Amino acid sequence: MNNLIDKINKLKSDRKAVILAHNYQLPEVQDVADFTGDSLELSRAAAKTDADVIVFCGVHFMAETAKILSPNKTVLLPDPHAGCPMADMITAEQLRDFKRLHPGLPVVAYVNTSAEVKAESDICCTSANAVKIVESVQSNIVLFVPDKSLPAYVASKTTKRVIPYCGYCPTHHRILVHDVIRAKREHSDAIVVAHPECTMDVIALADAVESTSGMLRYVKASPAREFIICTERGLLHRLTKENPDKIFYNPSPVNICPNMKKITLEKVLWSLEDMKHEIELPADTIERARAAIEGMIAV
């Protein structure tokens, strides 16, 4: 393993590369990264870096977002098949149909969308800033794509009407309300923290609803010792590492995002060796999608 890490670090400096990793990545991939974060933090990091190459350890839409924000850099996704099923639940054509059904309404696109869908949208959001972004839009009714769970949560926090598309995250929807009730019964002192991609019945049981990095901040600041974490289980790596005195319970036996786990240390090395798999996007898509992402970053 050390040999592999040494080779990655050597090639990283030869190529002037930076490694960005999402909080759901395998522990060893998170540990080799220069920066680990949630979708919003990763977008900001990709916009700011002065490296020549970004190796993105996450899923396809995240690497595309990095390319949109840094079009002159080489952005590599170590496994080209690491996609997001939720992002695939709406195409640009389906979004155009959705807009035709609701003429004149602004579109808020969750960052978990393809570049083409972002290019058809007015503004992006992540789970960390969705309420703020919906509040910032100059309309009392907004369309929200592709997720239906995040906008249900957002609608409970704003007076605006949010019309959702019908997508969902299969990983978060696998965390069942019964799982959380059982975990609460077994650990009665534990605080429940849920990601807003969870279903509303799970969210109703939560003491806090946060993005992945929001959960890290919440746990660090909390005087509590025990937490039931309702999100993809990869987050437990950072939670445990950064809070050795606290205890974390994973409520579900199946809350794994198989796409996030497609990135391995070997693939990170091969990616740097072969400069693969490069994200390429048409210039006009980059330009239109960029406006929606930069609009979000500016709020």
List residues binding ligand SF4 (CB under 6 A). 59, 84-86, 112, 169-171, 197, 232, 257, 259-260
Count of Cβ atoms closer than 10 Å to residue 65 Cβ: 29
Residue 212 CB, shortest distance to ligand 13P, in Å, is 4
**CA-CA distance, 193 to 214, in Å (whole number)?**
10
Q: Can residue 255 be called a binding residue for ligand 13P (CB under 6 A)?
A: no
- Judged by beta carbon distances under 5 to 8 A according to partner kind, the member of ligand 13P, ligand SF4, none in contact with residue 116 is none
Residue among 74 and 127 whose Cβ is closer to ligand SF4: 127
Count of Cβ atoms closer than 10 Å to residue 201 Cβ: 12
- Judged by beta carbon distances under 5 to 8 A according to partner kind, the member of ligand 13P, ligand SF4, none in contact with residue 155 is none
Residue 184 CB, shortest distance to ligand 13P, in Å, is 22
Q: Can residue 127 be called a binding residue for ligand 13P (CB under 6 A)?
A: yes
Residue 11 CB, shortest distance to ligand 13P, in Å, is 27
In which region does residue 275 sit, left (phi positive, over 0), alpha (psi from -120 to 50) or beta (all else)?
left
Residue among 171 and 285 whose Cβ is closer to ligand SF4: 171
Residue 126 CB, shortest distance to ligand 13P, in Å, is 5
- Judged by beta carbon distances under 5 to 8 A according to partner kind, the member of ligand 13P, ligand SF4, none in contact with residue 127 is ligand 13P
Pick one of 38, 79, 116, 120: the residue that binds ligand 13P (CB under 6 A): 38
Residue among 65 and 126 whose Cβ is closer to ligand 13P: 126
Residue among 105 and 293 whose Cβ is closer to ligand 13P: 293
Contact 62, 21 (CB under 8 A): no
Q: Can residue 64 be called a binding residue for ligand 13P (CB under 6 A)?
A: no
Residue 263 CB, shortest distance to ligand SF4, in Å, is 12
- Judged by beta carbon distances under 5 to 8 A according to partner kind, the member of ligand SF4, ligand 13P, none in contact with residue 133 is none
Q: Can residue 36 be called a binding residue for ligand 13P (CB under 6 A)?
A: no
Pick one of 211, 252, 255, 271: the residue that binds ligand 13P (CB under 6 A): 211
Contact 38, 127 (CB under 8 A): yes
- State the pairing for strand pair 17-22/53-57: parallel
Q: Can residue 39 be called a binding residue for ligand 13P (CB under 6 A)?
A: yes
For ligand 13P, the binding residues (CB under 6 A) are 23, 38-39, 84, 112, 126-128, 169, 195, 197, 211-212
